[in-house]
Amino acid sequence: MPETATPADERPAVRRVPSPNRNRVALARLRDLALIPAILVICVVGQLVNPVFLNRDNLLNVVQTMSETAVLVLAETLVLIVRKMDLSLESTMGLAPGVAAWLTVAAGPGHGLGALPGAWAIPVTLAVGLLIGAVNALLIVRCGLNGFIVTLGMLIVLRGTLTGLSGGETFFQLPGSMLYPGTAQWFGVPASVWICVTLFAAGIAVLGWTGAGRSLYAIGGNADAAKAAGIRTDRVLWIVLTVAGGLAALSGLLLSGRLASVASAQGSGAIFTVFAAAVIGGVGLNGGKGSVFGAFTGILLLFLIQNVLTLGGVPAQWTGALNGLIILVALVLSRITGGRVQD
């Protein structure tokens, strides 16, 4: 006999169970937006402290100076997501433009050699950064050395190299090509801000909507499982570390262009601000956690706080203590909300 269709009102109700993966994605998106309320509060407080805070010129100054460090934060975020660490980024920020200045600045007062035309400054800067990143990858990935120790040693080597090349002096009289990224205005906004926003947008797109981006999280979560799933983990790590070096060089180029010089100590101490921004932005030190957007909100919040303190008359010497305190608070909150013991 043919089966009789069951009336719709007599069918057992189907209970939809939320997918755990969907829940995790929704939670991750909420974490990405976690600092937005804090940023809004800081804006209100800043305006109360000093009416200049929300002026266009002040905000442009904040985002321009932030953009240089933000590119460095982007580089460290990529490295942290794959469960590595690169302390040498701050020295790359100084040495890469330092080498370019040394080769292109005319001999004499500018302390350069004048060996290359000024048009070579940007390609040399980026090439040096990529080379440093590739050397880090060689030692960490190929030789299997500890990333923390390798990049700490590289930090010292690069810092000493820049001091040696410059003789402890500051390179100045930079060629126009080096000045352009840090001084140009595009549609009334500093070019460095456009460059920074474009890079972060690209990072958000790649990590959020491409298989290559998702492989970074897979490696950071469990490298062995990622390799078993067919991901070429070594190749990905090589690319991430090399790209991080190139981004650090670009960060140094933006700073050098704005200041019209390359100091022998350029970038010194920047890594502390970078880690503070990444950690409060939700990037996990255990790998496989965090987002590019979260890192962006982290560095934006830090620079807004620093600007409010400056407008409020707080000495700049307290900035370092503030960054350290923010890191500690962020780690404690991450431990409480994540429920995982941190290595």
Asked if 276 and 302 count as a contact pair (C-beta separation under 8 A), the reply is yes
Domain assignment present for residue 5? The answer is no
pLDDT at 12 over 80: no
pLDDT at 342 over 70: no
Over the chain, what is the mean pLDDT? 86
Q: What is the mean pLDDT of residues 233-252?
A: 96
pLDDT at 259 over 90: yes
Asked if 125 and 247 count as a contact pair (C-beta separation under 8 A), the reply is no
**What confidence category does residue 326 fall into, taking pLDDT thresholds of 50, 70 and 90?**
confident
Burial class from Cβ neighbours inside 10 Å (0-12, 13-18, 19+) for residue 1 reads exposed
Domain assignment present for residue 302? The answer is yes
Least confident of 148-152, 192-196, 212-216, 324-328: 324-328
**What confidence category does residue 149 fall into, taking pLDDT thresholds of 50, 70 and 90?**
very high
Domain assignment present for residue 276? The answer is yes
pLDDT at 27 over 50: no
Per-residue pLDDT tens over the stretch 65-100: 999 999 999 999 999 999 999 999 999 999 999 999
Domain assignment present for residue 71? The answer is yes
Residue 340, pLDDT score: 54
Domain assignment present for residue 341? The answer is no
pLDDT at 33 over 80: no
Question: Residue 274 belongs to what domain range?
Answer: 35-335
Domain assignment present for residue 24? The answer is no
Per-residue pLDDT tens over the stretch 92-132: 999 999 999 999 998 877 778 888 898 999 999 999 999 99
Residue 81, pLDDT score: 95
Q: Residues 306, 163, 179, 132: is their CA dihedral positive or negative? A: negative
Strand partners, 171: 262
Per-residue pLDDT tens over the stretch 271-295: 888 988 888 888 888 888 889 999 9
Domain assignment present for residue 29? The answer is no
Asked if 89 and 75 count as a contact pair (C-beta separation under 8 A), the reply is yes
Burial class from Cβ neighbours inside 10 Å (0-12, 13-18, 19+) for residue 10 reads exposed
Domain assignment present for residue 120? The answer is yes
**What confidence category does residue 338 fall into, taking pLDDT thresholds of 50, 70 and 90?**
low
DSSP result, 219-241: HHH-HHHHHHTT--HHHHHHHHH
CATH value at residue 45: 1.10.3470
How many domains, in total, are found in the chain? 1
The token pair at 114 is 């004048």
